[in-house]
């Protein structure tokens, strides 16, 4: 099936979806962030076919989200987050917060996040980069940016 390309749209959300907008890529990034860096580890955790995993890993490397590093004399590689990939993990943490709130049910969240700076269990809370106040959907106005389609 042909996948719709969003990269040419004048929308940062659409462009991000062009990189990670199918279901396996965010889960692959989650696994690499959690320390599963080898193909077989990721494949075993996700249960995804080898073909699909190979395609997704290649795409994420091409997009500069993951870095491929050899770890064996045979052509075997480990995958590591790049700076671009680490930024995407922050978005995944916000997605996890939403899932914990709306989908976790009585069992509660499947994963807890301990903040290195204070050692406490916390959730992600987007803040304004200028004043530090919470920045949620009702707290902002959308204005045309320099890259907008006028």
Domain boundaries, the chain: 12-83
pLDDT at 3: 66
Q: Give the pLDDT score at 75.
A: 84
Joined together, the tokens standing for residue 108 give: 């509660």
Average pLDDT, the chain: 93
Q: Which two tokens stand for residue 23?
A: 């279901």
**38-70 confidence digits (pLDDT tens):** 999 999 999 999 999 999 999 999 999 999 999
| Sequence-separated (6 or more) residues with CB below 8 Å from residue 79 | 32, 37, 38, 39, 42, 57, 60, 61, 66, 67, 68, 69
What is the pLDDT at residue 6? 81
pLDDT, mean of residues 71-81: 92
Interacting residues of 68 by C-beta distance below 8 A, sequence separation 6+: 57, 61, 77, 78, 79
Task: Compute the average pLDDT of residues 95-120.
Answer: 94
**Residue 5 pLDDT greater than 90, yes or no:** no
Instruction: State percent of the chain over pLDDT 90.
Output: 80
Mean pLDDT across the stretch 120-137? 93
pLDDT higher at 40 or 124: 40
Q: Average pLDDT, stretch 94-112?
A: 94
Q: Are 52 and 24 in contact, with CB atoms under 8 Å apart?
A: yes
Average pLDDT (114-137) is 93
Question: Given this structure, which CATH class describes domain 12-83?
Answer: mainly alpha
- Candidate from 9-13, 91-95, 131-135 with smallest mean pLDDT: 9-13
């Amino acid at each position: 099936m042909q996948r719709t390309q969003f990269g040419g749209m004048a929308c940062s959300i659409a462009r991000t979806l062009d990189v990670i907008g199918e279901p396996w890529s965010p889960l692959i990034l989650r696994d690499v962030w959690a320390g599963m860096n080898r193909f077989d580890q990721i494949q075993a955790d996700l249960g995804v076919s080898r073909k699909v995993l190979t395609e997704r890993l290649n795409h994420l490397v091409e997009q500069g989200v993951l870095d491929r590093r050899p770890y064996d004399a045979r052509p075997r590689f480990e995958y590591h987050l790049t700076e671009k990939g680490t930024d995407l993990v922050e978005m995944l943490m916000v997605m996890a917060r939403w899932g914990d709130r709306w989908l976790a049910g009585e069992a509660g969240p499947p994963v807890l996040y301990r903040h290195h700076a204070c050692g406490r269990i916390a959730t992600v809370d987007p803040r304004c980069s200028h004043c530090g106040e919470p920045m949620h959907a009702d707290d902002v106005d959308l204005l045309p940016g320099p890259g907008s389609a006028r």
